Chains A and B, each alone.
Chain A
Amino acid sequence: MSVLNKILASAAAAAMMIAAPASAEDTRIALVVKALGIGFFEAAAKGAEEAAAELGGVEIIYTGPTDTTAEGQIEVINALIAQNVDAIAISANDTDALVPALKKAMQRGITVISWDSGVAPEGRQMHLNPSSNALIGNMIIKLAADHLPDGGDVAVLSATTTSTNQNTWIEEMNKVMGNYPGINVVATVYGDDLADKSYREATGLMQSYPDLDAIIAPTSVGIVAAAQAVVDAGKVGEVNVTGLGLPSEMAGAIESGASQSFAIWNPIDLGYSATMLAYEIAKNGAATDPGSAIPMGRMGSLTLDDNSEGAMADPFIYDASNIDEFKSIF
Chain B
Amino acid sequence: MLPRVIPVRELILSIAILALLVLISARFAGFAAPSNLLNVFNDTAPLIILALGQMVVILTRCIDLSVAANLALTGMVVAMINVAMPGLPIPVILTIAILLGAIMGAINGLLVWKLAIPPIVVTLGTMTVFRGIIFLISDGKWVNAHEMSDAFTGFPRTTVLGLPMLSWVAILAVVIFGIMMARTSLGRAIFAVGGNPHAAVYAGINVGKTQFLAFVLSGALAGLTGYLWVARYAVAYVDIAGGFELEVVAACVIGGISIAGGIGSVGGAVLGAIFLGVVKNALPVINISPFWQLAISGSAILIAVAFNARAGKTKGRIILKSAEGST
Contact = CB atoms under 8 A, between A and B. Distances in A.
A193 B142 CA distance: 14
Interface in B77-98: none
A190 B283 CA distance: 11
Nearest to B283: A204
B202 interface: no
Nearest to B47: A196
Interface string A189-224: 110011111011101110110000000000000001
B118 interface: no
Given A207-B30, A208-B28, A248-B144, A199 B233 contact: yes
Contacts of B184: none
B240 A204 contact: no
A225 interface: yes
B290 A189 contact: yes
Contacts of A224: 144-145, 234-235
A255 B144 CA distance: 12
B242 A194 contact: yes
Interface string A74-117: 00000000000000000000000000000000000000000000
A197 B234 CA distance: 14
A204 B285 contact: yes
B132 interface: no
B99 to A, nearest CB: 24
B290 A204 contact: no
B50 to A, nearest CB: 12
Given A194-B242, A200-B280, A200-B281, A161 B291 contact: yes
B142 A228 contact: no
A201 to B, nearest CB: 5
B145 A207 contact: no
Interface in A209-255: 224-225, 228, 232, 248-249, 251-253, 255
B241 interface: yes
B135 to A, nearest CB: 13
A253 B234 CA distance: 10
A189 B284 contact: yes
A120 B212 CA distance: 53
A228 B145 contact: yes
A249 B287 contact: no
B146 interface: yes
A199 B46 CA distance: 14
Contacts of B30: 207
Contacts of A208: 28, 284-285, 287
Contacts of B146: 251-252, 255, 327
Q: Contact size class for B?
A: 20 to 34
A207 B36 contact: yes
Interface string B65-82: 000000000000000000
Main secondary structure of the interface of A (DSSP, over half): helix
A235 B290 CA distance: 24
Contacts of A205: 284
Nearest to B42: A232
Q: With a 10 A CB-CB cut-off, give which of B157, B239, B290, B291 has the most chain A CB atoms.
A: B290
Contacts of A253: 145
Interface string B265-309: 000000000000000110111010011000000000000000000
Contacts of A327: 146
Given A189-B290, A195-B240, A252 B145 contact: yes
A196 B157 CA distance: 15
A201 B36 CA distance: 14
A221 B225 CA distance: 20
B233 A196 contact: yes
A224 B142 CA distance: 11
Interface string A149-172: 000000000000100000000000
A119 to B, nearest CB: 23
Contacts of B291: 161
The 5 lowest CB-CB distance pairs between A and B, nearest first, are A204-B284, A252-B145, A252-B146, A251-B146, A195-B233
Given A194-B240, A203-B39, 19 more contacts: A189-B290, A193-B239, A199-B233, A200-B280, A204-B285, A208-B28, A224-B145, A224-B234, A225-B233, A225-B235, A228-B145, A228-B233, A248-B144, A249-B144, A251-B145, A251-B146, A252-B234, A253-B145, A255-B146
Interface of B: 28, 30, 36, 39, 43, 142, 144-146, 157, 229, 233-235, 239-244, 280-281, 283-285, 287, 290-291
13 contacts: A188-B290, A194-B239, A194-B243, A196-B244, A197-B280, A204-B283, A204-B285, A207-B30, A225-B233, A225-B235, A228-B145, A248-B144, A327-B146
